[in-house]
Amino acid sequence: MDANKRQRYEKISIELTKLVGGKENIQGVAHCATRLRIVLKDNDQADLKAIENVDLAKGVFVAGDQVQIIFGAGLVNDVYEVFAEHNNMKNMSLSDLKTVANKKMNPLQRIVKALSDVFVDIMPGILAAALLTGLSGVFGNLEFVKSNDTLYGINTLINISSGAVFGFLPLAVAYSACKRFGGRPILGIVIGCIMLSDSLTNAYSAAQGTAEVTTLHIFGMGVDLVGFQGGIIVALLMGFVTAKLDGFFEKKVPEVVRLLVSPLLTTLVGALLLFTVIGPVGRGLSSGITNGLVWMTQNLGVIGYAIFSGLQQLVVITGLHHIFGAIEAQLLADTGRNFLNPLMSVAIIAQGGAVLGYLLLHRKNVKTRELCIPSFISVLFGITEPALFGINLRYRFPIIGGCIGGALGGIIVYLTNLAAVGFGTTVVPGIALADPANNGYMNYVAAHGVAIAGGFLMTLILGRFMDKTPEEAISVNTAGSPASSRAPEAQDSMPQPQEAPAEEAFYGYANGQLIAMEDVKDDTFANKVLGDGVAVIPSEGKVFAPADGTVTSVFDTKHAICFASRYGTEILIHIGVDTANLHGKHFTAHVKDGDAVKKGQLLISFDKPQIEKAGYDTTIPMIFTDLPEGKSLKKSAPGTMDSNTKAVVVCK
């Protein structure tokens, strides 16, 4: 990682740790594609409003008892690496974090999250199949493809590839569900194979009456030997049941025969339940969901479409939108057309239009541009969280404008009878999934054009009446005082700073040669990216407290320490350049977070010769990361430094 970036992320990590209530309030941390996810013991200690203004953060929200901070794809990986290292949670996986978070969820939240996890695991395959389906549809309508043997052959292979994935989707779902609920994934695959066995009558042929169905009689019940092609709901249920059966038999079967008997019993009992209980129940649920959606299109008409597309992004805020994947898959399996996909797509692009509207209203504000432009780009690829939580929901009126735009787009979807032939992707890449029948591609573009224009214009109109004190709401606050940004409960547990005098002195924190910050051989420090201060070229491997105060944070790598004086002035002492790469080797901390220390007390010792031998500069900057407004630094001239020498005086 670039040194300048790392220093910036270290400052973000320090600030975030304070704003979520300190290290002691953090239970777990992980990240997904765009968000840093933190599970806290007490969410009330987190100052969400202050977190919104943290450097590089595009938004923050609480979902499923996780504080989720949006940084964006790619960036979140680097921020996580430094933040997790700072809080000693580097090896925690997203599944570990979910386990911690699940303990705090209610039953409905757990069910929804579990459904989400099942489809997240197999989504790459679904996306590949969906895009291949779209490509096949596009190429199949081109005359030069039909007339060219090679192109026709390639398109045929594309069609086979996409159809194979969707044809075996129940198997993939059974595998992923079994894995998600704690069973051995191979047993989920076995059950999926049974569901799609050639020994069973094809479900589609049976439904059309073109194939004969064999009926068995088990315990007096008639069991039809019909396959479960398209049985997504059945596969979900069977994945769950198989996982629980596997766990049960693994515990009950004696160890001496467990390897043979446990999977045998799991598969046998699972197969019996599939054909006698789970299959019929799952088919009933599937039929009910599909019939309900079809009823909506036939009886509510344009109003039903407008309501769905207008409110769909509000469902995203709750996290319940993850269940749509199963519904879309079932809808495709039962009807061959997915009208939900374009409805969700126009709902997404309308929120992008709202972002553009807000950007136009505040085009002169740098922070607004930093938030809006990347958020809109994410929307183009179907990712709305940065837009929703970073701008639209945060300032309220854009979310309303976006919902209205989504409803308008839904009307066009209804009037043009637009649908998709797959699912899993939306907006720009989603055009490949549009059903080409009746000018489907043109209708797709038209519906999205209306939606984005509606979101844009409605946000501008609503902004004239509802956009109150926007410049205050989007002001940049990259530091945040712990006394003002913490929740009241957190403030009570921290020492309260005393009223600062006109001048506050910080003494030599290391023996050696004092130099100007500009002379440090690192651009981050020399350019004062983290703040102004001074630096010392040390003559020995010891760092001392420069004043009376409190240790607010010791990095897990022990190469840096955060300190607050008794008057609340915050500093960061950073031992060496790029020394985080040593991962704590050659460093020893003599204090811990929260320790009260006296001027001259030993904070950290380090093996200076060994660090220099490893190729690292051991210069030690002392940075004032959050200098109070109206105060300035009076720095001592370069020269010899010890614990009795004033290094910096903070002046009013």
pLDDT tens profile 201-254: 888 777 667 788 888 888 888 888 988 887 778 888 999 999 999 999 999 999
Task: Give start and end residues of each alpha helix (H) in 87-223.
Answer: 94-102, 107-140, 143-147, 149-167, 169-180, 185-195, 203-208
pLDDT at 151 over 60: yes
For residue 325, what are the CA distances in angstroms to 132, 293, 499, 652?
Answer: 18, 14, 57, 59
On whether the CB atoms of residues 383 and 347 are closer than 8 A, the answer is no
Do residues 276 and 372 both lie within one domain?
no
Q: What is the mean pLDDT of the chain?
A: 81
Do residues 138 and 24 both lie within one domain?
no
Is 509 a member of any domain? yes
Do residues 637 and 500 both lie within one domain?
yes
Average pLDDT over residues 440-457: 94
Quick one: pLDDT at residue 537? 94
- The sign of the dihedral angle between the CA atoms of 554, 555, 559, 565 is negative
Is 479 a member of any domain? no
Is 330 a member of any domain? no
Phi, psi torsion values for 56, nearest 5 degrees: 75, -10
Do residues 457 and 570 both lie within one domain?
no
Is 644 a member of any domain? yes
Do residues 500 and 590 both lie within one domain?
yes
Is 321 a member of any domain? no
Q: How confident is the model at residue 628 (pLDDT cuts 50, 70, 90)?
A: low
Is 485 a member of any domain? no
Q: How confident is the model at residue 472 (pLDDT cuts 50, 70, 90)?
A: very low
∠ CA(197), CA(122), CA(286), 5° rounding? 60
Quick one: pLDDT at residue 489? 37
Is 312 a member of any domain? no
Number of structural domains found in the chain: 4
Do residues 142 and 282 both lie within one domain?
yes
Average pLDDT over residues 623-648: 82
Do residues 455 and 503 both lie within one domain?
no
Average pLDDT over residues 588-598: 88
Quick one: pLDDT at residue 452? 95
For residue 517, give the nearest of 635, 642, 650 by alpha carbon: 635
Do residues 262 and 397 both lie within one domain?
no
Quick one: pLDDT at residue 72? 66
Q: Coil, helix or strand for 224?
A: strand
- Of 473, 508, 540, which one is at a domain's C-terminal end? 473
Q: How confident is the model at residue 510 (pLDDT cuts 50, 70, 90)?
A: very high
Quick one: pLDDT at residue 621? 92
On whether the CB atoms of residues 188 and 179 are closer than 8 A, the answer is yes
- Of 237, 260, 292, which one is at a domain's C-terminal end? 292
Quick one: pLDDT at residue 404? 95
pLDDT at 61 over 80: no
- Of 226, 258, 292, which one is at a domain's C-terminal end? 292
Do residues 79 and 143 both lie within one domain?
no
Report the alpha-carbon distance of residue 594 to residue 83 in Å, rounded.
19
Report the alpha-carbon distance of residue 226 to residue 215 in Å, rounded.
9
On whether the CB atoms of residues 84 and 26 are closer than 8 A, the answer is no
Report the alpha-carbon distance of residue 264 to residue 268 in Å, rounded.
6
Quick one: pLDDT at residue 355? 92
Of residues 555 and 196, more confidence is placed in: 196
Average pLDDT over residues 341-359: 92
Q: How confident is the model at residue 483 (pLDDT cuts 50, 70, 90)?
A: very low
Do residues 57 and 141 both lie within one domain?
no
Report the alpha-carbon distance of residue 200 to residue 213 in Å, rounded.
8
Is 17 a member of any domain? yes
> Which of 31-35, 339-343, 529-533, 560-564 shows the lowest per-residue confidence on average (mean pLDDT)?
31-35
For residue 466, what are the CA distances in angstroms to 306, 313, 395, 470, 494?
Answer: 24, 21, 9, 10, 38
Quick one: pLDDT at residue 456? 96
Query: How far is Cα of residue 329 from the mean position of the Cα atoms in its chain?
Result: 24
For the annotated catalytic residues, the residue numbers are 32, 574
On whether the CB atoms of residues 521 and 615 are closer than 8 A, the answer is no
Do residues 503 and 531 both lie within one domain?
yes
pLDDT at 624 over 90: no
Quick one: pLDDT at residue 168? 83
pLDDT at 148 over 70: yes
Question: Where in the sequence is the domain holding 80, given as residue range(s)?
Answer: 3-105
Q: Which helix (H) or strand (E) holds 623?
A: strand 620-624
Q: In what order do the strands lie in the sheet with 35-40?
A: 26-31, 35-40, 66-70, 59-63
Q: How confident is the model at residue 617 (pLDDT cuts 50, 70, 90)?
A: very high
Do residues 445 and 505 both lie within one domain?
no
Maximum mean pLDDT: which of 130-134, 322-326, 581-585, 628-632: 581-585
Quick one: pLDDT at residue 131? 67
> Which of 499-503, 556-560, 614-618 shows the lowest per-residue confidence on average (mean pLDDT)?
499-503
